[in-house]
Structure 1
Amino acid sequence: MKTIAALAALAISLGSRVQAQTLPTAPCFIYDDDKIEAPCSVSVKNTSSYSIRLYGADAEPEFWSTAAVNGSWADAQGRGFNKNFLYITGANKEGVKIPMTHPVLARHNDSTPTQWQVSFFVPSAFSRNETSVPTPTDKDPSLLTASRLLGGTDWSRVWAQYDSPFTLFGRHNECWVRVQ
């Protein structure tokens, strides 16, 4: 918890410097993977143990498909991933197949730890505006717009997975701290 508080304090203190930066133009990639799109970000600070990135500042809108799941972390990973996977493989009103992106986000409600949201990033080619995002055929996943996360006191942890579940070694997973 002390590490999370320290990271948040650092992020807030760097806020004014970050606000002057703009994001790169989509599509964006991360971890030397130029085939799977990721949300665009500005690197604020990098050390050997953590990095701080700003998402959603002065960029085109970003959209995420989000599935709500009640249960354990394993339930969220399985059912939440599958609901989103169905959406991107054509279970949407337009019948459009959407390329897989990363990260896959899993976050829980701090007051009710069995309530989870699992999200996929919608690629930039499909998210220029709300009308270009394929419409889900199921109530899950919903579409969630990403926003800039700086300047407040509410904290939550988000687990971001950048690799396929079948990648056994050299995985890229992160714990995100939201600064609102």
Structure 2
Amino acid sequence: MSGLFKTIFGKLDCPNYKVVTSTADYEERLYEAARWTSTTIPDIERRSASSTGFRRLFKYISGHNEKNVKIPMTVPVITKVEPGDGPFCKTDFTVSFYAPYADQAEGTPKPSDPDVFNNSLPEMTAYVRTFSGYAKDEDWTKQAETLAKSLDDAGLKYHKDHYYTAGYNSPFKPINRHNEVWFIKSD
């Protein structure tokens, strides 16, 4: 599995994956099944939902959990984007923190906030497009559209009803940022 982000982002734990194929537009990655802690926010804007979700999850890892313990920060912060039916309809944004390696087998403590939950993602193949910069809502959408077009042009099957955004940097890091959009392979 890849140690790429362990090197780039220091000592932060991150999901394990293997690169299956790589093109100029995207990578195909096989991710191991993993535990996450998540919260879902219906909103019109990704930025607003991500901010609310991040605050909830940060409170959780800061000790607002059944054991009152601090949990180490990990990368990436992923957001599952499930678009609504129209341009001004609410979208469901599920913001998630990866559970640290030490908690992958046993799981992290139960959240105290009823809007925060522990969950697992199965082993999955993701088509991943990377880009840099301080991403705004339009950037995430444009990158997802570009990735979808590349996958469609290649004749690949993927879940079209949702995608993920993945951020790897603190909001206080203005340059050399690493962002990703993911579509999950379907049969």
TM-score (norm 1): 0.74
1:21-60 equivalences under 5 Å are 23=1, 30=5, 32-56=8-32
1:152 Cα shift? Answer: 6.6
1:141-156 equivalences under 5 Å are 141-150=116-125, 153-155=158-160, 156=162
Is residue 2:38 matched to residue 1:66? yes
Structure 2 runs not aligned, ≥5 long = 126-155
Between the aligned partners of 2:159 and 2:9, the Cα distance in structure 1 is 32
Aligned-pair RMSD on alpha carbons?
A: 2.1
Which one of 160, 176, 181 corresponds to residue 175 of structure 1? 181
Contact kept, 8 Å, 1:63 with 1:127, in 2: the verdict is yes
SS in 2 for 1:85: helix
Contact kept, 8 Å, 1:62 with 1:124, in 2: the verdict is no
Which one of 69, 74, 79 corresponds to residue 101 of structure 1? 74
Report the equivalent of 2:108. Answer: 133
Contact kept, 8 Å, 2:62 with 2:70, in 1: the verdict is yes
Per the alignment, do residues 46 and 153 of structure 1 end up closer, same or farther by CA in structure 2, a change over 3 Å counting? closer
Between the aligned partners of 2:17 and 2:114, the Cα distance in structure 1 is 29
Contact kept, 8 Å, 1:39 with 1:55, in 2: the verdict is yes
Structure 1 runs not aligned, ≥5 long = 1-22
TM-score (norm 2): 0.72
Report the equivalent of 1:6. Answer: none
Between the aligned partners of 1:111 and 1:88, the Cα distance in structure 2 is 30
Determine what percentage of the aligned residue pairs are the same residue.
Answer: 30
SS in 2 for 1:65: strand
Contact kept, 8 Å, 2:84 with 2:91, in 1: the verdict is no
SS in 2 for 1:82: helix
Contact kept, 8 Å, 1:70 with 1:114, in 2: the verdict is yes
Contact kept, 8 Å, 1:29 with 1:40, in 2: the verdict is no
Which one of 162, 166, 170 corresponds to residue 160 of structure 1? 166
Per the alignment, do residues 67 and 139 of structure 1 end up closer, same or farther by CA in structure 2, a change over 3 Å counting? same
The more displaced of 47-56 and 162-171 is 47-56
